[in-house]
Amino acid sequence: MVSDMGNYKTAEARSRGRSAKKKAAPITPRKATAKSRLAMSSTKADQAKAKAKAKATSQHKKDKKPRFHKQILIIMSAVFLVFDLAMLGIWGLQRPEAMVPPSADPATLISKQLITSDLDHNISLVGYDTTLSFANLQGLTIIPDLSLLQPIENNLYKKAAASGGSDLLYDEMIVWRIISFNSTWVEFLNDGARNVYSSVETASTAEAKVAQLGRDSRIYLTRLSFGEIGHIDQTYYIIVQADYTLFNGEQADVHTDIFVYQLIPKGNTMLIEDFQQFIQLA
């Protein structure tokens, strides 16, 4: 029995050894058949195509994104350009003209108006007097508030309409109008000419006063002297001294009167709206 048992153990050990050898033996892979090789090859080709497609899609997205951004930038640049041009146009239309100071030399200002017109033939002498100031006048009522009166700073009324033309300047227009008014006033009294009314605003206070100024008299205008010029908004004032003699029959009255004229711009000229006379018999 002992012997059988030993033989049993020995047989069992041999059996286990054979089993272990079988398990430990390496597995030799089967050779791939033509069919399996075709399937593998197809799979690899599909994978390669898929990778190539994915790469192409990714590259397309990368290429498309910059082009899209470029289009946005072009559109935004165009919008800003149009906006800038529009603003420049508006700014150009609304931009004020460059300031032009009044004439620094009143004598030159006056002589220029005499040269460019034929109005002084009824006036013996035209000049400038520095003592003629609004502040020196007592009883001045034509100016509503003397504290509001300002000297002319920007003398430009209108730019020249054509190349080579002359700009319209406030001080020149005012002086020209006063010379014209006084010259035609002489013709009105001496000859009955009515062109004096072209210097005054229609239906104004000045128009009514002209009819009474030296009525039924003849006049000899010796000298016209210009003084201070000022303005309140678009209403302009100038102080002028007139030396003249009124002849009424055999009577001759010598005057040195002061006039303060109120003028307004109208079209391309100045018109007298009112005036106040300070009568001073010599």
Q: Which 3-state string (H, E, C) describes 49-93? A: HHHHHHHHHHHHHHHHHHHHHHHHHHHHHHHHHHHHHHHHHHHHH
Same domain, 119 and 248: yes
Per DSSP, the three-state class of 240 is strand
Cβ partners under 8 Å of residue 227, min gap 6: 128, 129, 130, 131, 132, 133, 238, 239, 240, 241
Same domain, 120 and 254: yes
Averaged pLDDT for residues 178-182: 95
As for how many domains the chain has, the answer is: 2
Residue 20 pLDDT grade (very low, low, confident, very high; cuts 50, 70, 90): very low
Contact by Cβ (8 Å): 238, 261: yes
**What domain range includes position 132?**
106-278
Averaged pLDDT for residues 103-117: 86
Q: What is the pLDDT of residues 200-216, one digit of tens each?
A: 999 999 999 998 887 78
Same domain, 116 and 86: no
pLDDT of 115: 79
Residue scoring higher pLDDT (50 or 1) = 50
Report if residue 8 sits inside a domain: no
Query: In the structure encoding, which two tokens stand for residue 221, read together?
Result: 């205008």
Same domain, 74 and 144: no
Q: Is the pLDDT of residue 13 over 90?
A: no
Residue 8 pLDDT grade (very low, low, confident, very high; cuts 50, 70, 90): very low
Closest of 210, 166, 214, 184 to residue 119, by C-alpha: 184
Same domain, 140 and 249: yes
End-to-end CA distance of the chain: 181
Facing residues of 223 across strands? 125, 243
Q: What is the pLDDT of residues 249-277, one digit of tens each?
A: 889 999 999 999 999 999 999 999 999 99
pLDDT of 280: 72
pLDDT of 31: 53
Q: How does DSSP classify residue 200?
A: B
Other CB atoms within 10 A of residue 141 CB: 8
Same domain, 86 and 111: no
Among 95, 124, 139, the domain-final residue is 95
